[in-house]
Chain A
């Protein structure tokens, strides 16, 4: 009987009933399962480079090769301006948040469907899956950031280089831009992962969308090439604000485009909030629809 008492004292009551609207927005559950988020992140990271020869080196190779190719095409061949910074640095600064965003969007978009056997068999907050995909992207981001530091040091200390890293207080704002990148990424990821459960078209849209999104974001070129009257429309892409923020914070080029940043941030937050609501709304039928 003592065992019985013990059980009762630590049990909590769960009430299962049909949920409606925002009542389903139950973030407390996500907090209870926070360890699961970390475990799933850890799994995604571990699994990503299992049975590869180069392992985690891929996280270095991919952005570096991209940077080299872009430098060759857009700087040497097309002659695009890089606002007085060596083009590889100018480009890599943007590739940092872009890499996080594009990878997480693609992984998270497919995450629910590839974990369908878990979803149809056990309860856990479904949001842990796309959130873990996004966090796993942070690991690659950290590695790429290490590469970035090496590149900066190389340019600063190699003789004959025109570039020297100069410290500005703007550097301290970098975490804010990383958070902004995460907000935008998570918002888009929640939308696509939930949509993919019901509409498998998302699997076809993602690679194509990634490509277009890449070119409407100032990665290989500077945001200043977009004419003044299009700037507001241009800022509707939350990644524009993120990339410009990264460049401002890390490179100290131009002044911070406040208006553009405000619009981009607003859109990013809007994406996250609507993404959360949409996801929770769809979550109810995931197990039946997937």
Chain B
């Protein structure tokens, strides 16, 4: 019997590169290229032109093969640029593969396009119909689900107000409500959980579980390992466009979190690793230094250590804050901290001028429990722009030798291990 929902065979997608910042070709360029092409070919011979074609392209995805059975929830993890989004784009038919094939059984709905096609001038009601149609719903289907969508979105009073007057929360709820009621056989979810408030995220999760329980197939792409662990049974790990690992989720998450780290206590970005949209912020390095200032991969929990981010600003940036996220290997956040967290300094550094910087902070002694942790980097201007974001920059180990309670050889629960001042009163 055939209960395959998705079958992917040798799928590959090639993009042209070097066109990203100014990608609009002009007619003149094409005409010039057309005229020159035969001349160049004569001059150089065909073998050379073939290799130059190869050099200006990049395989965002290659040799991907897998199958998903109906009713399974499959996680897809990978670092930025690993090809996750490209894979979802191919499976949801936004773009065509360059080679290979994929077989999709049923309608694909995706939560990556929440609110796509919403028009700010149209009312909530009008947008429900429009967005529903764009997502592939028939008018009768929307009629039938209209009340349900409205009540799910909790925007009843504003349903005849143009959505440009909605708060961002209302907008998101309405958009999600439409997408969530599409009832596709295959649901593709990409990072929507990263937006919206906690309540909204809870709703998204709930809807995903419903979908999975109704026997539908879910593909879930996320950087949030705890969500992947909670929601999926099996996970694919993508690395540089290749499928490198497929296993039950706990193993796959461990594999992913442990992979790609050099274990040197330092992460240096080369110029081709920096996304073009990060400009004018250019990350250079993230380093961990022990109390003696040496770069180290393993740090003692009983000693303070320093985290430093080195970067360059090509232009001045208003309101820039550079900071770190500390996560456990399972992807749970331990804390977040920015270099302008101190209100006085925030007032003082409204605009950061162009130049070469290091933002440095010290993690005090007796903060973390033993184990491995991940540092993520974020450079942003609040509510304006996120210049740079790497959620998987560097892993390091905390050695708890000599830490409080170490006289008992037992693992301590939780990511923090503070030295607390206990007082024992005898009454």
Residues of A bordering B, CB below 8 Å = 1, 3-4, 7-8, 10-19, 33, 35-36, 39-40, 42-43, 46-47, 50-51, 115, 117-124, 198-201, 284-285, 287-289
Q: Which residue of A lies closest to B13 (CB)?
A: A288
Given A47-B122, A122-B92, A201-B27: A8 in contact with B116 (beta carbons within 8 A): no
Contacting residue for B106 out of A12, A19, A199, A287, CB 8 A: A12
- Indicate if the CB atoms of A123 and B23 lie closer than 8 Å: no
Q: Which residue of B lies closest to A288 (CB)?
A: B95
Distance of A124 Cα from B103 Cα, bound (Å)? 17
- Indicate if the CB atoms of B122 and A43 lie closer than 8 Å: yes
- Indicate if the CB atoms of B116 and A117 lie closer than 8 Å: yes
Given A13-B104, A121-B94, A122-B113, 17 more contacts at CB 8 Å?
A7-B106, A8-B105, A14-B105, A16-B102, A36-B133, A36-B136, A42-B130, A118-B113, A122-B134, A122-B135, A124-B134, A199-B26, A199-B27, A201-B26, A201-B27, A284-B96, A287-B89
In the assembled complex, which residues on chain B have CB atoms less than 8 Å from the CB atom of A18?
A: 96-99
Distance of A189 Cα from B302 Cα, bound (Å)? 70
- Indicate if the CB atoms of B101 and A15 lie closer than 8 Å: yes
- Indicate if the CB atoms of B130 and A16 lie closer than 8 Å: no
Distance of A241 Cα from B93 Cα, bound (Å)? 40
- Indicate if the CB atoms of B24 and A11 lie closer than 8 Å: no
- Indicate if the CB atoms of A46 and B122 lie closer than 8 Å: yes
Q: Is B248 an interface residue (CB 8 A)?
A: no
Given A36-B133, A121-B112: A11 in contact with B93 (beta carbons within 8 A): no
In the assembled complex, which residues on chain A have CB atoms less than 8 Å from the CB atom of B105?
A: 8, 11-14
Distance of A176 Cα from B14 Cα, bound (Å)? 46
Q: Is B304 an interface residue (CB 8 A)?
A: no
In the assembled complex, which residues on chain B have CB atoms less than 8 Å from the CB atom of A51?
A: 121
In the assembled complex, which residues on chain B have CB atoms less than 8 Å from the CB atom of A17?
A: 96-97, 100-102
Q: Is B370 an interface residue (CB 8 A)?
A: no
Within 8 A of A (CB), among B99-142: 99-108, 110, 112-113, 116-117, 119, 121-122, 126, 129-130, 133-136, 138-139
Given A4-B215, A13-B105, A46-B126: A121 in contact with B116 (beta carbons within 8 A): yes
Q: Which residue of B lies closest to A124 (CB)?
A: B134
- Indicate if the CB atoms of A122 and B94 lie closer than 8 Å: yes
Given A7-B70, A7-B185: A118 in contact with B106 (beta carbons within 8 A): no
- Indicate if the CB atoms of B101 and A122 lie closer than 8 Å: no
Contacting residue for B93 out of A14, A47, A115, A201, CB 8 A: A14
